[in-house]
Amino acid sequence: MSSLSELHLLTVLAQEMNMRKAAERLFVSQPALSQRLQTIEKEWGKKLFLRSQKGLSLTPAGELVIQFANEMLMKEEKVRESISALDTEVYGTLKIAVASIVGQNWLPQVLKKFVNRYPQAKISLITGWSSEIAKALYEDQVHIGIIRGTPDWKGVKIHLFQDSLNLVDTEITRPEQMLETDRPFIQFKSDSSYYQEIQDWWLRNFQTPPRRTIIVDQIETCKQMTFNGIGYAILPEITLNGAEKNIFKIPLLDEHGVPIKRDTWLLGYESAFQLKQVQAFVDIVKEHLEDSAEEQ
Protein backbone atom coordinates (compact mmCIF):
# COMPACT_ATOMS: atom_id res chain seq x y z
CA MET A 1 0.00 0.00 0.00
CA SER A 2 1.25 3.49 -0.83
CA SER A 3 2.37 5.79 2.00
CA LEU A 4 0.44 8.95 2.83
CA SER A 5 3.04 11.07 1.02
CA GLU A 6 2.58 8.97 -2.11
CA LEU A 7 -1.20 9.26 -1.85
CA HIS A 8 -0.79 13.03 -1.57
CA LEU A 9 1.42 12.99 -4.68
CA LEU A 10 -1.27 11.10 -6.60
CA THR A 11 -4.03 13.51 -5.58
CA VAL A 12 -1.95 16.51 -6.67
CA LEU A 13 -1.32 14.88 -10.04
CA ALA A 14 -5.06 14.19 -10.38
CA GLN A 15 -5.90 17.79 -9.55
CA GLU A 16 -3.36 19.35 -11.91
CA MET A 17 -3.33 16.73 -14.71
CA ASN A 18 0.02 18.25 -15.66
CA MET A 19 3.48 17.01 -14.63
CA ARG A 20 5.10 20.45 -14.57
CA LYS A 21 2.39 22.07 -12.46
CA ALA A 22 2.26 19.09 -10.10
CA ALA A 23 6.04 19.15 -9.69
CA GLU A 24 5.92 22.85 -8.81
CA ARG A 25 3.23 22.24 -6.18
CA LEU A 26 5.19 19.34 -4.69
CA PHE A 27 8.53 21.23 -4.80
CA VAL A 28 10.28 18.48 -6.76
CA SER A 29 11.76 18.26 -10.24
CA GLN A 30 9.76 16.75 -13.10
CA PRO A 31 12.20 13.82 -13.52
CA ALA A 32 12.00 13.06 -9.79
CA LEU A 33 8.20 13.20 -9.90
CA SER A 34 8.12 10.97 -12.98
CA GLN A 35 10.38 8.44 -11.24
CA ARG A 36 8.21 8.40 -8.11
CA LEU A 37 5.07 7.93 -10.21
CA GLN A 38 6.64 4.97 -12.02
CA THR A 39 7.52 3.39 -8.66
CA ILE A 40 3.95 3.88 -7.39
CA GLU A 41 2.46 2.44 -10.58
CA LYS A 42 4.78 -0.57 -10.29
CA GLU A 43 3.58 -1.08 -6.73
CA TRP A 44 -0.07 -1.05 -7.85
CA GLY A 45 0.74 -3.21 -10.87
CA LYS A 46 -1.22 -0.92 -13.20
CA LYS A 47 -0.74 2.23 -15.23
CA LEU A 48 -2.53 5.02 -13.31
CA PHE A 49 -1.95 7.98 -15.67
CA LEU A 50 -1.57 8.28 -19.43
CA ARG A 51 0.61 11.06 -20.85
CA SER A 52 -0.12 13.08 -23.98
CA GLN A 53 0.76 16.48 -25.40
CA LYS A 54 -2.33 17.89 -23.66
CA GLY A 55 -1.22 16.60 -20.26
CA LEU A 56 -2.26 13.66 -18.11
CA SER A 57 -5.41 11.56 -18.08
CA LEU A 58 -6.53 8.92 -15.60
CA THR A 59 -6.82 5.28 -16.51
CA PRO A 60 -9.76 3.28 -15.07
CA ALA A 61 -7.33 1.85 -12.49
CA GLY A 62 -6.10 5.36 -11.79
CA GLU A 63 -9.61 6.56 -11.05
CA LEU A 64 -10.05 3.82 -8.44
CA VAL A 65 -6.68 4.57 -6.82
CA ILE A 66 -7.36 8.32 -6.71
CA GLN A 67 -10.72 7.68 -5.06
CA PHE A 68 -8.93 5.51 -2.49
CA ALA A 69 -6.25 8.19 -1.99
CA ASN A 70 -8.84 10.92 -1.38
CA GLU A 71 -10.68 8.76 1.15
CA MET A 72 -7.48 7.88 3.02
CA LEU A 73 -6.26 11.49 3.15
CA MET A 74 -9.66 12.63 4.43
CA LYS A 75 -9.50 10.00 7.19
CA GLU A 76 -5.97 11.12 8.05
CA GLU A 77 -7.14 14.73 8.30
CA LYS A 78 -9.91 13.75 10.74
CA VAL A 79 -7.48 11.77 12.91
CA ARG A 80 -5.08 14.72 13.00
CA GLU A 81 -7.94 17.03 13.96
CA SER A 82 -8.92 14.72 16.80
CA ILE A 83 -5.33 14.57 18.02
CA SER A 84 -4.90 18.35 17.84
CA ALA A 85 -8.14 18.79 19.77
CA LEU A 86 -6.36 17.19 22.74
CA ASP A 87 -3.98 20.14 22.97
CA THR A 88 -4.75 23.52 24.48
CA GLU A 89 -3.40 25.32 21.42
CA VAL A 90 -5.51 25.81 18.28
CA TYR A 91 -4.04 23.76 15.44
CA GLY A 92 -5.55 21.87 12.52
CA THR A 93 -7.31 23.11 9.41
CA LEU A 94 -10.48 25.17 9.61
CA LYS A 95 -12.54 24.12 6.59
CA ILE A 96 -15.18 26.71 5.68
CA ALA A 97 -17.64 27.06 2.80
CA VAL A 98 -19.03 30.57 2.45
CA ALA A 99 -21.54 32.27 0.17
CA SER A 100 -19.45 34.34 -2.26
CA ILE A 101 -21.05 37.64 -1.30
CA VAL A 102 -20.15 37.03 2.36
CA GLY A 103 -16.67 35.84 1.48
CA GLN A 104 -15.98 39.02 -0.47
CA ASN A 105 -17.50 41.61 1.84
CA TRP A 106 -17.75 40.37 5.45
CA LEU A 107 -15.48 37.39 6.04
CA PRO A 108 -12.03 38.99 5.40
CA GLN A 109 -12.20 41.06 8.61
CA VAL A 110 -13.12 37.97 10.62
CA LEU A 111 -10.38 35.81 9.06
CA LYS A 112 -7.81 38.53 9.72
CA LYS A 113 -8.58 38.34 13.45
CA PHE A 114 -8.49 34.54 13.32
CA VAL A 115 -5.09 34.19 11.60
CA ASN A 116 -3.54 36.87 13.83
CA ARG A 117 -4.75 35.18 17.01
CA TYR A 118 -4.16 31.57 15.94
CA PRO A 119 -1.09 31.50 13.66
CA GLN A 120 -0.75 27.70 14.00
CA ALA A 121 -4.16 27.04 12.46
CA LYS A 122 -4.69 26.60 8.72
CA ILE A 123 -7.69 27.67 6.64
CA SER A 124 -9.35 25.93 3.72
CA LEU A 125 -11.95 28.21 2.13
CA ILE A 126 -14.60 27.41 -0.50
CA THR A 127 -16.91 30.10 -1.89
CA GLY A 128 -20.00 29.71 -4.04
CA TRP A 129 -23.76 30.01 -4.05
CA SER A 130 -25.63 29.16 -0.86
CA SER A 131 -26.99 25.97 -2.46
CA GLU A 132 -23.39 24.86 -3.14
CA ILE A 133 -22.39 25.66 0.45
CA ALA A 134 -25.23 23.49 1.79
CA LYS A 135 -24.11 20.64 -0.51
CA ALA A 136 -20.52 20.89 0.81
CA LEU A 137 -21.87 20.62 4.37
CA TYR A 138 -24.10 17.63 3.60
CA GLU A 139 -21.18 15.84 1.93
CA ASP A 140 -18.92 16.53 4.93
CA GLN A 141 -16.38 18.46 2.84
CA VAL A 142 -16.22 21.33 5.35
CA HIS A 143 -16.65 21.93 9.08
CA ILE A 144 -18.97 24.92 8.85
CA GLY A 145 -20.85 26.85 6.18
CA ILE A 146 -22.06 30.43 6.01
CA ILE A 147 -25.09 30.86 3.77
CA ARG A 148 -27.66 33.48 2.80
CA GLY A 149 -31.43 33.11 3.06
CA THR A 150 -33.47 30.85 5.34
CA PRO A 151 -31.78 27.46 5.69
CA ASP A 152 -33.53 24.15 6.22
CA TRP A 153 -30.85 22.78 8.55
CA LYS A 154 -31.20 20.29 11.41
CA GLY A 155 -27.75 20.80 12.94
CA VAL A 156 -26.25 23.79 14.73
CA LYS A 157 -27.54 27.07 13.28
CA ILE A 158 -26.24 30.50 14.38
CA HIS A 159 -27.82 33.69 13.04
CA LEU A 160 -25.12 36.19 12.08
CA PHE A 161 -26.81 39.30 10.68
CA GLN A 162 -29.46 40.80 8.40
CA ASP A 163 -28.94 43.31 5.63
CA SER A 164 -31.48 45.09 3.45
CA LEU A 165 -31.98 44.92 -0.30
CA ASN A 166 -31.60 48.24 -2.13
CA LEU A 167 -32.40 49.63 -5.53
CA VAL A 168 -29.08 51.20 -6.53
CA ASP A 169 -28.51 53.67 -9.37
CA THR A 170 -26.80 56.91 -10.38
CA GLU A 171 -30.06 58.46 -11.62
CA ILE A 172 -33.18 56.72 -10.28
CA THR A 173 -34.49 58.11 -6.99
CA ARG A 174 -37.87 56.30 -6.89
CA PRO A 175 -38.71 52.68 -7.83
CA GLU A 176 -41.42 53.80 -10.29
CA GLN A 177 -38.74 55.39 -12.47
CA MET A 178 -37.46 51.92 -13.39
CA LEU A 179 -40.42 51.57 -15.78
CA GLU A 180 -39.65 54.88 -17.44
CA THR A 181 -35.93 54.49 -18.12
CA ASP A 182 -34.42 52.83 -21.19
CA ARG A 183 -31.30 51.95 -19.22
CA PRO A 184 -31.03 48.23 -18.37
CA PHE A 185 -31.72 46.38 -15.17
CA ILE A 186 -28.41 44.67 -14.26
CA GLN A 187 -28.78 41.31 -12.53
CA PHE A 188 -26.12 39.04 -11.11
CA LYS A 189 -26.46 35.26 -11.06
CA SER A 190 -27.31 33.89 -7.65
CA ASP A 191 -29.26 31.11 -6.00
CA SER A 192 -32.98 30.69 -6.55
CA SER A 193 -34.09 32.18 -3.21
CA TYR A 194 -32.49 35.53 -4.02
CA TYR A 195 -34.08 35.61 -7.48
CA GLN A 196 -37.43 34.69 -5.95
CA GLU A 197 -37.32 37.58 -3.49
CA ILE A 198 -36.55 40.07 -6.26
CA GLN A 199 -39.23 38.62 -8.54
CA ASP A 200 -41.86 38.68 -5.76
CA TRP A 201 -41.07 42.34 -5.02
CA TRP A 202 -41.20 43.27 -8.72
CA LEU A 203 -44.56 41.55 -9.30
CA ARG A 204 -46.08 43.25 -6.26
CA ASN A 205 -45.10 46.66 -7.56
CA PHE A 206 -45.19 46.43 -11.37
CA GLN A 207 -47.28 44.70 -14.03
CA THR A 208 -44.55 44.51 -16.66
CA PRO A 209 -40.95 43.25 -16.61
CA PRO A 210 -37.90 45.53 -17.10
CA ARG A 211 -37.56 46.86 -20.65
CA ARG A 212 -33.96 45.70 -20.88
CA THR A 213 -31.92 43.30 -18.75
CA ILE A 214 -28.22 42.52 -18.53
CA ILE A 215 -27.22 39.38 -16.62
CA VAL A 216 -23.67 39.08 -15.28
CA ASP A 217 -22.04 36.17 -13.45
CA GLN A 218 -20.50 38.09 -10.54
CA ILE A 219 -22.05 40.51 -8.06
CA GLU A 220 -18.92 42.69 -8.12
CA THR A 221 -19.30 43.12 -11.90
CA CYS A 222 -22.94 44.08 -11.39
CA LYS A 223 -21.96 46.60 -8.73
CA GLN A 224 -19.23 48.26 -10.81
CA MET A 225 -21.47 48.49 -13.89
CA THR A 226 -24.13 50.15 -11.75
CA PHE A 227 -21.70 52.58 -10.13
CA ASN A 228 -20.47 53.55 -13.59
CA GLY A 229 -23.99 54.49 -14.71
CA ILE A 230 -24.58 51.66 -17.17
CA GLY A 231 -27.87 50.68 -15.54
CA TYR A 232 -29.61 50.06 -12.23
CA ALA A 233 -29.45 47.05 -9.92
CA ILE A 234 -30.86 45.57 -6.73
CA LEU A 235 -27.98 44.94 -4.34
CA PRO A 236 -27.72 43.69 -0.75
CA GLU A 237 -26.52 46.23 1.81
CA ILE A 238 -23.52 44.00 2.58
CA THR A 239 -22.00 44.99 -0.77
CA LEU A 240 -22.31 48.73 -0.07
CA ASN A 241 -19.84 50.25 2.38
CA GLY A 242 -21.45 53.69 2.59
CA ALA A 243 -18.57 55.46 0.84
CA GLU A 244 -20.17 55.37 -2.62
CA LYS A 245 -20.39 58.78 -4.27
CA ASN A 246 -23.28 60.02 -6.42
CA ILE A 247 -25.21 56.80 -5.85
CA PHE A 248 -28.87 56.61 -4.85
CA LYS A 249 -29.89 53.73 -2.56
CA ILE A 250 -33.62 53.04 -2.15
CA PRO A 251 -34.55 50.21 0.27
CA LEU A 252 -36.99 47.66 -1.12
CA LEU A 253 -40.19 47.38 0.96
CA ASP A 254 -42.51 44.43 1.40
CA GLU A 255 -46.32 44.56 1.21
CA HIS A 256 -46.43 45.98 4.75
CA GLY A 257 -43.96 48.76 4.03
CA VAL A 258 -41.15 47.00 5.93
CA PRO A 259 -37.63 46.86 4.42
CA ILE A 260 -36.86 43.50 2.80
CA LYS A 261 -33.82 41.91 4.42
CA ARG A 262 -31.60 38.92 3.76
CA ASP A 263 -30.42 36.72 6.62
CA THR A 264 -26.96 35.24 6.95
CA TRP A 265 -26.44 32.04 8.96
CA LEU A 266 -23.52 29.96 10.20
CA LEU A 267 -24.26 26.21 9.99
CA GLY A 268 -22.54 23.00 10.98
CA TYR A 269 -22.89 19.58 12.54
CA GLU A 270 -22.56 19.27 16.33
CA SER A 271 -19.40 17.17 15.98
CA ALA A 272 -17.60 19.93 14.06
CA PHE A 273 -18.20 22.46 16.83
CA GLN A 274 -16.19 20.26 19.22
CA LEU A 275 -13.01 20.95 17.23
CA LYS A 276 -10.86 23.66 18.76
CA GLN A 277 -10.27 25.51 15.49
CA VAL A 278 -14.04 25.66 14.88
CA GLN A 279 -14.74 26.78 18.45
CA ALA A 280 -12.08 29.49 18.10
CA PHE A 281 -13.55 30.71 14.79
CA VAL A 282 -17.09 30.88 16.18
CA ASP A 283 -15.83 32.84 19.21
CA ILE A 284 -14.14 35.37 16.92
CA VAL A 285 -17.30 35.63 14.78
CA LYS A 286 -19.37 36.45 17.88
CA GLU A 287 -16.74 38.93 19.05
CA HIS A 288 -16.73 40.61 15.63
CA LEU A 289 -20.52 40.89 15.61
CA GLU A 290 -20.49 42.47 19.08
CA ASP A 291 -17.81 44.97 18.01
CA SER A 292 -19.80 45.85 14.87
CA ALA A 293 -22.97 46.38 16.93
CA GLU A 294 -21.14 48.73 19.29
CA GLU A 295 -19.76 50.77 16.38
CA GLN A 296 -23.27 51.29 15.04
CATH number at residue 9: 1.10.10.10
203 and 221 both lie in a single domain:
yes
Quick one: pLDDT at residue 192?
A: 64
pLDDT at 83 over 80: no
Range of the domain at 15: 4-84
CATH code at 128?
3.40.190.290
Q: What is the mean pLDDT of residues 218-241?
A: 90
173 and 39 both lie in a single domain:
no
Q: What mean pLDDT is reported for the chain?
A: 89
**Total domains in the fold of the chain:** 2
pLDDT at 225 over 90: yes
pLDDT at 219 over 70: yes
Other CB atoms closer than 10 Å to residue 195's CB: what's the count?
Answer: 12
Quick one: pLDDT at residue 178?
A: 86
Quick one: pLDDT at residue 88?
A: 61
184 and 110 both lie in a single domain:
yes
Task: Tell me which of 54, 84, 114 is where a domain ends.
Answer: 84
CA distance 31 to 38: 11
pLDDT at 125 over 90: yes
pLDDT at 196 over 60: yes
65 and 104 both lie in a single domain:
no
pLDDT at 296 over 80: no
pLDDT at 17 over 80: yes
pLDDT at 89 over 80: no
226 and 148 both lie in a single domain:
yes
Is the four-CA dihedral 138, 140, 144, 146 of positive or negative sign?
Answer: negative
CB contact at 8 A, 25 and 16: yes
75 and 198 both lie in a single domain:
no
Task: Tell me which of 84, 106, 123 is where a domain ends.
Answer: 84
Quick one: pLDDT at residue 181?
A: 87
Confidence of residue 228 (pLDDT cuts 50, 70, 90): very high
Quick one: pLDDT at residue 243?
A: 63
56 and 186 both lie in a single domain:
no
| HEC assignment per residue over 37-89 | HHHHHHHHCCCCEEEECCEEEECHHHHHHHHHHHHHHHHHHHHHHHHHCCCCC
Quick one: pLDDT at residue 39?
A: 92
54 and 35 both lie in a single domain:
yes
pLDDT at 245 over 80: no
96 and 76 both lie in a single domain:
no
Select, from the ranges 2-6, 34-38, 83-87, the one with the highest average predicted confidence (pLDDT).
Answer: 34-38
CB contact at 8 A, 14 and 58: yes
CA distance 153 to 83: 28
pLDDT at 49 over 90: yes
CA distance 36 to 142: 31
Q: What is the mean pLDDT of residues 125-152?
A: 89
Q: What is the pTM (predicted TM-score) of this model? A: 0.70
295 and 190 both lie in a single domain:
yes
193 and 51 both lie in a single domain:
no
Task: Tell me which of 44, 67, 84 is where a domain ends.
Answer: 84
95 and 68 both lie in a single domain:
no
In the chain, the percentage of residues whose pLDDT exceeds 70 is 96
